[in-house]
């Protein structure tokens, strides 16, 4: 093999390996997209018999599905709002005050961001039974808030650190209270940070299956993540087209929010902040 | 006057007002996060059950759940399965594949990077239940993979029955690799090109540059990423549950699936929490390592 040939191979090799990886990643995804517009979708990827939007229409016009989507939006939206508000409040003294136990507190928070939630679900279930929160949508929101709180506090505290305190002091001189200072001066300057936290919390719970699966019982309380699982079991084998359409609809908010989050994450993707996927 | 106002604020912010700010979030974490962890420890020493006598009359059973756990062959199988799943999909799969993609993408055509990056990211952004569905249909008896094999004249394989562990490992790689890819892309961009070039000038081969310069330079990122990815994988439930349900038999029963089955299928909550505690214990050890790596 001549040196020229070798050089050529080294040029082309990374491209072919990447292309192969790309195809492997693409095929399962392509199936769900194609099957969702196929009148006669099968388990394997194939060219559609006829293109149709009926799968989407059927899924969207179903009252139960609409309900599941709304519940999902309500749960994840409610969680995101609460995490941001409570997180901002908690971040304020952690960022601005000289507190004695700040460092161990922040380390505990960081520690909590990485604990597997799965491991506490059995006692949480028992706790929900005794607090009469079992099968209650608001109960699930509270648990979601608690589980995302460490991440929210950690991120918002770091974002708040970068807002200079002089601006706030100027507002105080003009007679603003501490709360008004946070609301009118600090929070507006943290919009990218707030959006990042809101988006990551929202998509985290929107895609979460285990927590609502344990804490909710009646189908009329199911968010989209559970509805789709139920759908999988009931009609999955018979109607791949509708199942695929439902899946695409359900995945859309996560995809949109991810794209949106890219606009706010100016620094790109770093390890700082203990991001959770 | 104005400086007095600031001083007043300064004074107030140094006293006990911080309690109000922290109270709501700390309270909610205490009730729904810390307390359940303590409950895990407590319940694991009881015979707590959903039905039958034990449901009415909670009793301490000492270490019974633990001795039972260590005698239960399914626990051993689950621990083994969890290890195989962790090493296969997180430590090797996502890390190595994510690193390779990031490495190969460096200095490539921008357009090409974009396309491949987007495809890999799509698997990450997709919710886990949808991932389970996509990969279930890919590996299904009449799925895409068998259709491809058939078109090459090869015989079909019942992937989900003959090699279920491999299918869930690949599914988790599909779902998670983008995270490691992004982390390593950022890390590789931070490696100063001068030191790599200097090594090449000194006569090092590309392989030597990678092993002796690039990898040592991003060593800390590798450790931190490893902890995070392992922690995420440790808690994976929905993906496995929807694809194989832990079966066939117990061949894909990892600790979270086993915990779920004991607590909610067999109604043995006490025993279920003993298994949770094992899971939590592994998680705590990994988290401590993770924090240590972040502190440096």
Range 68-107 of A in CB contact (< 8 A) with B: 86-87, 89-90, 92-94, 96-99, 107
Per the prediction, chain B carries an average pLDDT of: 85
* Residue A250 sits at the chain B interface (C-beta within 8 Å): yes
Q: What confidence tens digit (pLDDT) does each residue in B215-239 have?
A: 988 888 888 888 889 888 998 999 9
Which residues from chain B sit within 8 angstroms of residue A92, using beta carbons? 21
Mean pLDDT of the B171-193 span: 90
How confident is the model at residue B287, as a pLDDT?
82
Interface check B267 vs A, CB under 8 A: no
Contacts of residue A268 in chain B, CB cutoff 8 Å?
A: 186
- Contact check, Cβ <8 Å, A29/B234: no
Higher pLDDT, B12 or A272: B12
Is pLDDT of B296 > 90?
no
Asked if residue B169 lies in contact with residue B93, where contact means CB atoms within 8 angstroms, the answer is: yes
Confidence of residue A151 (pLDDT cuts 50, 70, 90): very high
| B83 band by pLDDT with thresholds 50, 70 and 90 | very high
What is this structure's pTM? 0.87
pLDDT tens for B184-209 read 998 988 888 888 888 888 888 888 88
Interface of B with A in 175-204 (CB under 8 A): 176, 179, 182-183, 185-186
Mutate to test the interface with B, among A94, A119, A175, A178 (most CBs of B within 10 A): A119
Q: Is residue B218 helix, strand or coil?
A: coil
Radius of gyration of chain A (CA): 24
CB burial readout A184-214, b (16+ within 10 A) else e: ebbbebbeebbbbbbbbbbbbbbbbbbbbbb
pLDDT digits (tens, 9 = 90+) for B266-294: 888 888 888 888 888 888 888 888 777 76
In chain A, what percentage of residues exceed pLDDT 90? 31
Q: Which of B127, B142, B283 sits opposite A225 (nearest CB)?
A: B127
CATH topology of domain B73-295: MetI-like fold (1.10.3720)
Q: What is the 3-state secondary structure (H, E, C) of B25-81?
A: HHHHHHHHHHHHHHHHHHHCCECCCCCCHHHHCCCECCCHHHHHHHHCHHHHHHHHH
DSSP B2: H
Whether the predicted interface score ipTM is above 0.90? no
pLDDT class for B4, splitting at 50, 70, 90? low
A 187-246 residues with CB < 8 A to B: 203, 206-210, 213-214, 225, 228-229, 232, 236, 240, 243-244
pLDDT at position B120, please? 92
Q: Are A160 and A198 in contact (CB under 8 A)?
A: no
> Is B73's pLDDT higher than 70?
yes
- Give the mean pLDDT of B47-65: 71
In the predicted model, is pLDDT for residue A271 greater than 60?
A: no
Contact list in B for residue A119 (CB cut-off 8 A) is 40, 235, 256, 259, 276-277, 279-280, 283
Percent of chain B beyond pLDDT 70? 91
Between A2 and B208, the higher pLDDT residue? B208
A46 close to B (CB below 8 A): yes
Phi, psi of B60 (to 5 degrees): -75, 135
CA distance B204 to chain A (A): 16
| Cα distance between residue A137 and residue A216, in whole Å | 8
pLDDT at position A33 over 50: yes
d(CA A14, nearest CA chain B) in Å: 6
Distance of alpha carbon A201 from alpha carbon A75, whole angstroms: 11
Look at domain A56-264 and name its CATH class: mainly alpha
Look at A2-11, A127-136, A155-164, B111-120 and tell me which has the smallest mean pLDDT. A2-11
CB-based contact, A247 to chain B, within 8 Å: yes
Which comes out higher in pLDDT, residue B7 or B113?
A: B113
Query: Which range is least confidently modeled, A57-61, A89-93, A134-138, A146-150?
Result: A57-61
In 3D, which of B290, B127, B131, B75 has the Cα closest to residue A251? Answer: B127
Distance of CA B24 to the CA centre of its chain: 29
Q: What is the pLDDT of residue B1?
A: 43
Closest chain A C-alpha to B262 CA, distance in angstroms: 10
Q: Which residues contact B183 (CB under 8 A, 6 or more apart)?
A: A269, A271, B98, B221, B225
Facing residue for A29 by CB, picked from B29, B123, B236: B123
Asked if the model's pLDDT at residue A240 lies above 90, the reply is: no
Q: Percent of chain B at pLDDT above 90?
A: 28
At residue B10 the predicted structure's pLDDT band, cuts being 50, 70 and 90, is low
Residues with Cβ < 8 Å from B174, sequence gap 6 or more? A25, A28, B123, B131, B134, B135
CB contact under 8 A, A17 and B105: no
Taking the domains of chain A in order of start, what are their residue ranges? 56-264
Position A267 scores a pLDDT of 47
The yes-or-no verdict on residue A160 having pLDDT over 70 is yes
Query: Is residue A277 very low, low, confident or very high in pLDDT (cuts 50, 70, 90)?
Result: very low
Q: What are phi and psi of A155, to 5 degrees?
A: -70, -50
Mapped to the 3 state alphabet, what secondary structure does chain B carry? CHHHHHHHHHHHHHCCCHHHHHHHHHHHHHHHHHHHHHHHHHHCCECCCCCCHHHHCCCECCCHHHHHHHHCHHHHHHHHHHHHHHHHHHHHHHHHHHHHHHHHHCCCCHHHHHHHHHHHHHHHHCCHHHHHHHHHHHHCCCCHHHHHHHHCCCCCCCHHHHCHHHHHHHHHHHHHHHHHHHHHHHHHHHCCHHHHHHHHHCCCCHHHHHHHHHHHHCHHHHHHHHHHHHHHHHCCCHHHHHHCCCCCCCCCCCHHHHHHHHHHHCCCHHHHHHHHHHHHHHHHHHHHHHHHHHHC
**Which positions ≥6 away from A38 have C-beta within 8 Å?**
A46, A48, A49, A50, A51, A52, A55, A241, A244
The answer to whether A170 faces chain B, any CB pair under 8 Å, is no
In angstroms, rounded to a whole number, what is the distance separating the alpha carbons of residues B208 and B200?
A: 9
Mean pLDDT of A220-243: 81
Q: Do B238 and A210 touch (CB under 8 A)?
A: yes
A122 closest CB neighbour out of B146, B182, B276: B276
Mean pLDDT (chain A) is 85
Given pLDDT bands bounded at 50, 70 and 90, which one contains residue B53? low
Which residues from chain A sit within 8 angstroms of residue B90, using beta carbons?
none
Kind and range of the H or E run holding A42: none
């Amino acid at each position: 093999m001549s040196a020229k040939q070798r050089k050529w191979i080294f040029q082309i090799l990374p491209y072919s390996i990447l292309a192969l990886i790309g195809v492997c990643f693409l095929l399962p995804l392509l199936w769900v997209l194609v099957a969702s517009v196929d009148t006669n979708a099968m388990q394997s990827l194939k060219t559609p018999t006829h293109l149709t939007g009926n799968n989407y229409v059927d899924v969207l016009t179903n009252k139960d599905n609409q309900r599941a989507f709304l519940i999902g939006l309500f749960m994840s939206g409610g969680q995101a709002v609460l995490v941001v508000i409570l997180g901002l409040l908690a971040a304020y003294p952690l960022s601005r005050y000289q507190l004695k136990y700040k460092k161990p507190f922040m380390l505990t928070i960081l520690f909590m961001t990485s604990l597997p939630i799965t491991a506490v679900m059995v006692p949480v279930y028992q706790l929900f039974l005794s607090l009469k929160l079992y099968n209650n949508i608001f109960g699930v929101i509270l648990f979601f808030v608690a589980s995302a709180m460490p991440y929210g506090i950690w991120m918002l505290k770091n974002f708040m650190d970068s807002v200079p305190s002089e601006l706030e002091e100027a507002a105080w001189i003009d007679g603003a209270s501490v709360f008004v200072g946070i609301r009118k001066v600090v929070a507006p300057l943290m919009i990218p940070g707030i959006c990042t936290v809101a988006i990551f919390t929202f998509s985290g719970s929107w895609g979460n299956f285990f927590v609502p699966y344990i804490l909710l019982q009646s189908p009329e309380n199911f968010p989209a993540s559970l509805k789709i699982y139920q759908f999988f079991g009931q009609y999955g084998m018979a109607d791949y087209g509708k199942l695929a359409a439902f899946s695409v609809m359900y995945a859309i908010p996560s995809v949109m929010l991810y794209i949106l989050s890219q606009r706010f994450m100016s620094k790109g993707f770093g390890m700082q902040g203990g991001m959770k996927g | 006057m104005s400086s007095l106002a600031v001083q007043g604020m300064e004074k107030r912010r140094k006293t006990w007002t911080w309690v109000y700010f922290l109270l709501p979030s700390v309270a909610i974490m205490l009730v729904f996060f810390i307390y359940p962890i303590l409950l895990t420890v407590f319940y694991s020493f009881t015979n707590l059950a959903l039905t039958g006598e034990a449901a009415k009359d909670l009793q301490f059973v000492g270490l019974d759940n633990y001795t039972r756990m260590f005698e239960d062959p399914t626990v051993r199988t689950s621990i083994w399965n969890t290890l195989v799943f962790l090493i296969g999909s997180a430590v090797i799969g996502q890390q190595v594949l994510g690193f390779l993609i990031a490495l190969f993408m460096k200095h490539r055509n921008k357009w090409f990077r974009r396309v491949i990056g987007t495809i890999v990211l799509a698997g990450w952004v997709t919710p886990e239940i949808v991932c389970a569905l996509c990969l279930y249909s890919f590996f299904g008896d009449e799925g895409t993979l068998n259709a491809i094999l058939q078109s090459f004249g090869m015989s079909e394989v019942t992937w989900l029955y003959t090699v279920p562990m491999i299918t869930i490992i690949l599914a988790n790689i599909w779902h998670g690799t983008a995270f490691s890819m992004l982390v390593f892309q950022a890390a590789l961009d931070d490696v100063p090109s001068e030191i790599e070039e200097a090594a090449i000038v000194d006569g090092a081969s590309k392989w030597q540059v990678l092993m002796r310069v690039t990898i040592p330079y991003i060593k800390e990122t590798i450790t931190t990423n490893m902890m995070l990815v392992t922690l995420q994988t440790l808690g994976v439930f929905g993906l496995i549950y929807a694809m194989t349900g832990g079966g066939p038999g117990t061949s894909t029963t990892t600790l979270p699936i086993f915990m779920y089955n004991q607590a909610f299928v067999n109604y043995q909550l006490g025993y279920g929490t003993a298994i949770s505690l094992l899971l939590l214990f592994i998680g705590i050890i990994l988290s401590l390592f993770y924090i240590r790596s972040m502190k440096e």
